[in-house]
Amino acid sequence: MPTLLDLSVQGDVGTLADESRLRSVKLMDPQQLYELWERQNWEAHSISLERDVADWQGMSEEERGHLAWLLSSFFIGEERVTTQFSGLVAAYESQGEEAFLATQQVDEARHAQHFNRFYRQVVGYDGTFEDRLRQAREHLNEAFLVLFDRHLVDACRRLLDDPADGDAKVDFVTTYHMVIEGTLALTGQEFITRFMEEHELLPGFTDGFRNIARDEHRHVAYGTWFLQQKVRAQPEAAGRIQEKLAELLPIAAAVLVPPGLQLGDSYELLGYSSDEVNQYAFTALSRRLRVIGVSLPAVAA
């Protein structure tokens, strides 16, 4: 069964025509993305979860346990990024970029608030916000902890130590916008939202989750713009991006694996095959890299 890691080893399968077309794509700059944020703003606490409570109670214990595991990575991920984004905000290079990056940190806090409400009102985790985070952490696998608690934290710390460190900024954006958000989060959101809509489940959660996905598409658009500009100005940055991807893709591939299974095992995500999930993630990442002007690295298993 091909994993995200296996697909990355195969390399980019785009044609020369695709390459030319994607590299000529004109991306929104940070000022335009900030203005888009103003038009797309939403309120996490205005979403009703009343129907979700009834839906949750109508599920089997096994179904509830699977969803609690599946969504815990998003809950913890949003909290991790909220606290670990300050380094990138400090590394802004224009007023438009400063404004946009500040909105992204606000977005991450809002996403965490949405998940906190869901876990409190629907899943039924008692206690404080911090208590619910601790409970959700019990579901996470080792690969998730390595990616978020080690690599993301280290990337933030390097920028806080020196906001002018251009290499550290490339590493952070590659780590977060390309791997965590662009590969893992948007893939999970695609299949979870599709499942909820097809089965007409948890409408309040799904409403907020759609808004979160829209925010994160905007975030990934910034990351794609930044890396594209960096590669055009400093072609050697392409090699650094590839090195960081080669380091992180094996970890990211393992994050997707459910408890009790190993990388390479077949599994289903809410009825969608692991082949389908991995192919979606690979295709999305490949397309963004071609826009940036970087080839997907061949990652050794």
DSSP string, 116-139: HHHIIIII---S-HHHHHHHHHTT
State whether the Cα torsion 297-166-146-81 is positive or negative.
negative
Q: 301 lies in a domain?
A: no
Section 205-213 average pLDDT:
98
Residue 261: predicted pLDDT: 78
Containing 268, the helix (H) or strand (E) segment is strand 268-269
CATH number of the domain enclosing 153: 1.10.620.20
Section 105-116 average pLDDT:
98
Residue 8 has pLDDT above 90, yes or no: no
Residue 123: predicted pLDDT: 95
Least confident of 81-85, 106-110, 262-266: 262-266
Specify burial of residue 264 (Cβ count, 10 A radius: 0-12, 13-18, 19+). middle
Q: 229 lies in a domain?
A: yes
**Domain count across the chain:** 1
Least confident of 18-22, 42-46, 209-213, 246-250: 18-22
Q: 36 lies in a domain?
A: yes
Inter-axis angle of helices 203-233 and 274-292, to 10 degrees? 40
Q: Which domain holds residue 122?
A: 4-292
Q: Which of 80, 86, 78 is nearest to 185 (CA)?
A: 78
Q: 277 lies in a domain?
A: yes
Residue 17: predicted pLDDT: 44
Q: 299 lies in a domain?
A: no
Share of the chain above pLDDT 70, in %: 91
Residue 2: predicted pLDDT: 47
SS3 236: coil
Please report, for residues 45, 153, 219, 224, the alpha-carbon distance to residue 293 in angstroms, rounded to integers and kept in the order given.
40, 27, 19, 10
Q: 297 lies in a domain?
A: no
Residue 79: predicted pLDDT: 96
The Cβ of residue 188 has, within 10 Å, a number of other Cβ atoms equal to 24
The token pair that represents 86 in the structure block: 């300050």
Residue 23 has pLDDT above 70, yes or no: no
Q: 211 lies in a domain?
A: yes
Residue 259: predicted pLDDT: 79
SS3 179: helix
Q: What is the DSSP letter of 42?
A: -
Please report, for residues 20, 87, 140, 162, 176, the alpha-carbon distance to residue 289 in angstroms, rounded to integers and kept in the order given.
13, 24, 28, 27, 14
Residue 13: predicted pLDDT: 44
Q: Tell me the pLDDT band of 192, cut-offs 50, 70 and 90.
A: very high
Task: Give this prediction's pTM.
Answer: 0.90
> Which spans in 119-262 are helix H?
129-137, 142-145, 153-161, 166-173, 186-199, 203-233, 237-255
Residue 68: predicted pLDDT: 87
Q: Tell me the pLDDT band of 20, cut-offs 50, 70 and 90.
A: low
Instruction: Identify the residue whose tokens are 């606490």.
Output: 45
Instruction: Identify the residue whose tokens are 């890396």.
Output: 227
Inter-axis angle of helices 237-255 and 203-233, to 10 degrees? 160
Share of the chain above pLDDT 90, in %: 77
SS3 169: helix
Residue 229: predicted pLDDT: 97
Q: 298 lies in a domain?
A: no
Q: Tell me the pLDDT band of 18, cut-offs 50, 70 and 90.
A: low
